[in-house]
Chain A
Amino acid sequence: MVLMLLAAALPARGQEFATFLAALRADSFADKEQAVAALGKLGDGRAVAVLTALKDGRLLKAPDGRVIISQPPNLIDPMTGEVVPDLTADALDRVHINNRLRGAIEGALGELTLFSADPAARLAAARDAVRHPSVDGAVLLEKAIAAEKEADIRAAMQQSLSAARLLSGSKQEKLAAARALGTTTDPQIKNLLDQFRAASESDPELRQAADAALASIKHRLWLVGLLANLFQGVSLGSVLLLAAIGLAITFGVMGVINMAHGEMIMLGAYAAYVCQQVFRAFLPVGWINGYLAAALPVAFLCAGAVGVALERTVIRRLYGRPLETLLATWGVSLILQQTVRSIFGSPNREVANPSWMTGGFDLIGGFTVTWNRVCIIFFCLTVLAALALLLNRTSLGLQMRAVTQNRPMASVMGIRTARIDALTFGLGSGIAGMAGVALSQIGNVSPNLGTIYIVDSFLVVVFGGVGNLLGTFVGALFLGIVNKFLEPVAGAVLGKIVVLVTIILFIQRRPRGLFAPKGRSAEAEA
């Protein structure tokens, strides 16, 4: 139907376009202004080029009555869009403009971009139209909606049209517009409705419609806020979880306080950076998007190797002396930080998202879900599931659990406990390294990266209950979500303080965390 209408309108429109174009040749500025305004109303995409050229002083008068656009080195006929071969720019007169005319051109251009060939420009124009609703705008928008083929742009136009009708339509139109506008979350439209409500104080029907629309917007805004907080909370929770999973093994399962855990994360992030640089330097351009696939195993192996070395040289000698372990690993963390600083320098290094992780999608008016956050949530769940499988379904996992629950008995059963210790610690560190790769996707990579996460990771593990992956999972998500919900109420810093104080108090109540070990393993630990 739309197509048929368009086909019918086209010839008549072509005629009008030629008439108004010719009118631009007039000598009086008032005539030209009329022509410009008419071109703007026409809704013809070709007028954009003409008006832009006019504004820039590139519109020329040909002796045969045509108007020509100068687009060095060519001259172009705006009617056909083809190059005019038989004329030179020097021989032609410019169409002169003054300031008043310039204003008119800009207004007309703003309306015309609704018909631009570029969808992004059309969308921008449709959204822009909300800001200055008018009767003329409404007419133009109706035309644009009829011509528009893309659904989301049409929806934006419809919204602007409703906004325009709200101020200047008939009563029925106003009522319909108010109803239609209730489905948005745009603060500008909310202001518009507020104005509308104030203006229609005398008409109870209109006021009621406005109230209903405002209530609906408020409800939607609340919903969007809730969703945004929830998503950001889950996202923060997944980051915390990634940072803490490795610690859940080294601290939770082995009971080793590894203050260098944050530095394992940092090493992983730098591994991602190095992989990116290597891909940029030595591999074909198209491959750069795959650097993450290389970075994950590299980070796992690097951090894991450092972890095993740390266990063999330092931690092994300190089993059963947790406070000493804490201090020694803190020292190791200082050394690792300074080493990385000496190699890579202290400024932040930038790790770019692969193209498939950039951007996001608009879930509901005004709330964008970014792909990198979504990826991290899924990555984090994958790692957790893989780890749970490893611990519960493989013989290595069985041996790890055996050694942590009852070392002498495990040893008697023929398990090489020293080797299992090193492997467990390496596994925890390796997972921290992979977490570093993930964290490099959402923030800067700097030598201090680890210190940002270390306090939080410990709190997550302690909060969830030591030696319990499920506890770590619940703890991380809970802390992430609580943090994000507190932020709008109390501010980012105060929210964080409240969370810290809550955890301190919580540990007083349940010194062994949310999911305290029960039964035999609890006795073994005590």
Chain B
Amino acid sequence: MQSKRLEERANTWSPGFWAAFGGCGAVLVLGVPILNLLVPPNSAAAIPDYLVPLLGKYVCYALLALSLDLIWGYAGILSLGHGAFFALGGYCMGMYLMRQIGARGVYGNPLLPDFMVFLDWKELPWFWWGFDHFAWAAAMIVLVPGLLALVFGWLAFRSRVTGVYLSIITQAMTYALMLAFFRNDMGFGGNNGMTDYKDILGWDVHQPSTRLGLYLASVAALGLGYLVCRFITSSKLGRVLLALRDAESRVRFLGYSVTHAKLLVFTVSAVLAGIAGALYVPQVGIINPSEFSPGNSIEIAIWVSVGGRGTLSGAIVGAVLVNLAKTWLTGVAAETWLFVLGGLFVLTTLVFPHGIIGLFRQARSARPRRAAPVAAAEEQA
């Protein structure tokens, strides 16, 4: 048993893995700038400037999907409110970006953002203090979703709210937040949210070079997030998570603290989602309360399920593929998108419960190979 664990751990961080990870990273980190900057714009392979933020958006979605997969795929916690953590991270970044506008807003008020001038507010509310500084905003991006997840998770896991009940109360949480952020007097721009950003860290957000930088930052965050998730899932904690996913009471009886394990992984996941949201906002140029809508959160689950839940790469693949299809279909035939999305929900649950990665593994394990048992074991888990 022990030797198998060691072997598996060696497998997790094997040179083969690093090669694959490095290869994918290099394609994303080098490929896009090269195709964007060096290839002549009229060639077929070139990536035009307007596509860069779109790619960055997909990368943020991938990180978001990864964060959900960490808790759903490995710990069996289906959060239908993960969009809330994403949006909170986004709002923190949005607040920083609003402060960077300074006196360049429509009303030219050096002290207050436009929407506060519009509401006839006289001074900055206390929760906006500090957002002039990037360091503060960055801390908040991690702390706000993290703390919310910690408190919410502590309440929920301590009283053993599991399964569907947990899904429904997370949905109620994001719904309540959506209603709250729609209110004008919350001080977050109400309905319209926050938009019309100018600078980030002194660079103009509309410049192609800034956008390329944001894209690269997103890729870096995704890579780090992936490593963190891989570290967690291959550690002892990961084993406990898998076990409690499949038989929670048994794990509890064996003496493990289920509550703490869940709480830790839920909080990490919320922080990852918050970072994804923070990187997303400057690239799309707006954050508004509709990001909190329960529908958005449920959609994240479908990205994970299409890619294959319980596999980290699956979450990434699923998020990118589904969103590519969404972008393409809403452009070509907007009416059909909901049919396709709805069909994906039904198909992946009924026919492909292991998603795309599951299909690959099946195909691979059908052929006799030395690595097959490990893949099968992982799939079973």
B353 at the interface (CB under 8 A from A): yes
Point out the residues of chain A lying under 8 angstroms from B182, CB to CB: 493
Q: Is A99 an interface residue (CB 8 A)?
A: no
**Smallest Cβ distance from B296 to chain A, in angstroms?**
12
Query: A331–B341 Cα gap in the complex (Å)?
Result: 7
The answer to whether B343 and A324 touch across the interface, beta carbons within 8 angstroms, is no
- B171–A327 CB distance below 8 A: no
| Residues of B296-351 whose CB lies within 8 A of A | 298, 301-302, 305, 335, 338-339, 341-346, 348-350
Which of A2-10, A171-179, A500-508 has 4 or more CB atoms under 8 Å from chain B? Answer: A500-508
What CA separation (Å) do A337 and B339 show in the bound complex?
9
**Interface membership of B156, Cβ < 8 A:** yes
Chain A CB within 8 A of B119 CB: no
A455 to B350, Cβ gap below 8 A?
A: no
Say which residue of A318, A458, A508 sits within 8 Å of B156 (CB atoms). A508
Chain A stretch 492-516: residues in CB contact (< 8 A) with chain B: 493-494, 496-497, 500-501, 503-505, 507-509, 511
Interface residues of B in 166-201 (CB under 8 A from A): 167-169, 171-173, 175-176, 179-180, 182-183
Interface size on A, residues (CB 8 A): 41
Q: Are A328 and B350 in contact (CB under 8 A)?
A: yes
Q: How many Å lie between the Cα of A503 and that of B346 in the bound state? A: 30
Contact A328:B349 (CB < 8 A) given known A257-B164, A511-B160: yes
Q: Which residues of B contact A503 (CB under 8 A)?
A: 169, 172
B159 within 8 A of A: yes
Chain A residues with Cβ under 8 A from B301's Cβ?
327
Q: Is the interface of A mostly helix, strand, loop or mixed?
A: helix
Q: Contacts A314-B350, A455-B175, A508-B155 hold; do A462 and B168 have CB atoms under 8 A apart?
A: yes
- On whether A333 and B165 interact (CB within 8 A), knowing A317-B350, A318-B349, A500-B175, the answer reads no
Q: What distance in Å separates the Cβ of B111 from its nearest Cβ neighbour in chain A?
A: 27
| A170 contacts partner chain B, Cβ-Cβ < 8 Å | no
State how many angstroms separate the Cβ of A489 from the closest Cβ of chain B.
15
Q: Is residue A20 contacting chain B, with contact meaning CB distance below 8 A?
A: no
Q: How many CB-defined contacts (below 8 Å) exist between A and B?
A: 113
In the docked arrangement, what's the CA distance between A236 and B145, Å?
A: 34
Residues B168 and A458 in contact, CB atoms below 8 Å apart: yes
Report the minimum CB–CB distance from B189 to chain A (whole Å): 15
B294 at interface by CB-CB < 8 Å = yes
Does residue B163 face the partner (Cβ distance < 8 Å to A)?
A: yes
Q: Which residue of A lies closest to B175 (CB)?
A: A455
Q: Are A459 and B342 in contact (CB under 8 A)?
A: no
Q: Within the complex, what minimum Cβ distance (angstroms) separates B119 from chain A?
A: 16
Residue of B nearest to A451 (CB): B295
User: Is the pair A327, B349 in contact by a Cβ cutoff of 8 Å?
Assistant: yes
Interchain CA distance A458-B171 in the complex, whole Å: 10
B341 touches A334 (CB 8 A): yes
Q: A332: CB under 8 A from chain B?
A: yes
Interface membership of A293, Cβ < 8 A = no
Tally B residues with Cβ within 8 Å of A: 41
Residue in B175, B302, B346 whose Cβ sees the most chain A Cβ within 10 Å = B346
Query: Which A residues, 231 to 282, have Cβ-Cβ distances below 8 Å to chain B?
Result: 257
Residue of A321, A326, A342 with most partner-chain B CB within 10 A = A326
A500, B172: Cβ atoms under 8 Å? yes
Q: Contact: B165 with A462, CB < 8 Å?
A: yes
- Which chain B residue shows the least CB distance to A325? B349
Chain B CB within 8 A of A323 CB? yes
Closest residue on chain B to residue A496 by CB atoms? B179
- For B305, the closest partner residue in chain A by CB is A327
B287 to chain A, nearest CB (A): 19
**Interface flag for B60 (CB, 8 Å):** no
B214 at the interface (CB under 8 A from A): no
Residues in A whose Cβ lies below 8 Å from that of B294: 455
Min CB distance B312 to A, Å, is: 19
A322: CB under 8 A from chain B?
Answer: yes
Name the distance in Å between B239's Cβ and chain A's nearest Cβ. Answer: 22
Q: A458-B168, A504-B169 are in contact. Are A497 and B163 (CB under 8 A)?
A: no
Q: Are B163 and A504 within 8 A (Cβ)? A: no
Asked if A327 and B298 make an inter-chain contact with CB atoms under 8 angstroms apart, the answer reads yes
- Residues from chain B with Cβ under 8 Å of A511 in the complex: 159-161, 165
* Chain B CB within 8 A of A335 CB: yes
Chain A: CB-nearest residue to B183: A493
Complex formed: what's the CA distance from A455 to B349 in Å?
22
Residue of A nearest to B76 (CB): A323
Given known pairs A324-B353, A331-B345, the reply for A455 and B159 (CB within 8 Å) is no
A323 vs chain B, min Cβ distance (A): 5
User: Which residue of A has the minimal Cβ distance to B301?
Assistant: A327
Q: A379 within 8 Å of B by Cβ?
A: no
Minimum CB–CB distance from B352 to chain A (whole Å) comes to 11
- Tell me, in angstroms, the Cα distance from A327 to B301 when the chains sit together: 8
Least Cβ–Cβ distance between A240 and chain B, in angstroms? 14
Please indicate the chain A residues that have their CB under 8 angstroms from the CB of B161 in the complex. Answer: 507-508, 511
Interface mask (B68-95 → A, CB under 8 Å = 1, otherwise 0) = 0000000000100000000000000000
List of B residues within 8 angstroms of A496 by Cβ: 176, 179
A371 proximal to B (CB < 8 A): no
Does A338 reach chain B (CB closer than 8 Å)? yes
Minimal Cβ-Cβ distance residue in A for B172: A500
- Given A328-B350, A505-B155, is A493 in contact with B341 using a C-beta cutoff of 8 Å? no
- Closest B residue to A513 by beta carbon equals B165
Q: Which residues of A contact B179 (CB under 8 A)?
A: 493, 496-497, 500
User: Closest Cβ of chain B: how far from A96's Cβ, in Å?
Assistant: 53
A330 pairs with B298, CB closer than 8 A: yes
Answer whether A497 and B350 are a contact pair too, CB < 8 Å, given A328-B345, A459-B168, A511-B160.
Answer: no
Complex interface: chain B residues within 8 A of A459 (CB): 168, 172
Q: Which of A324, A325, A330, A333 has the most CB of B within 10 A?
A: A330
Closest beta carbon of chain A to B176's beta carbon, Å: 4
Contact A331 B156 (CB under 8 A): no
Contact sample, A vs B, 29 pairs, CB 8 Å cutoff: A318-B349, A318-B350, A322-B163, A322-B164, A323-B78, A323-B164, A323-B167, A326-B167, A327-B298, A327-B302, A328-B345, A331-B302, A331-B341, A331-B343, A331-B345, A331-B346, A334-B338, A334-B342, A338-B342, A458-B168, A458-B171, A462-B165, A501-B176, A504-B169, A504-B172, A507-B161, A507-B169, A508-B155, A508-B161
Q: Across chains A and B, which 6 residue pairs bring their CB atoms closest together, nearest first? A: A331-B345, A334-B342, A335-B342, A338-B338, A500-B176, A331-B342
Known contacts A324-B353, A508-B156; 4 additional CB pairs below 8 A are A330-B342, A331-B342, A335-B343, A504-B176
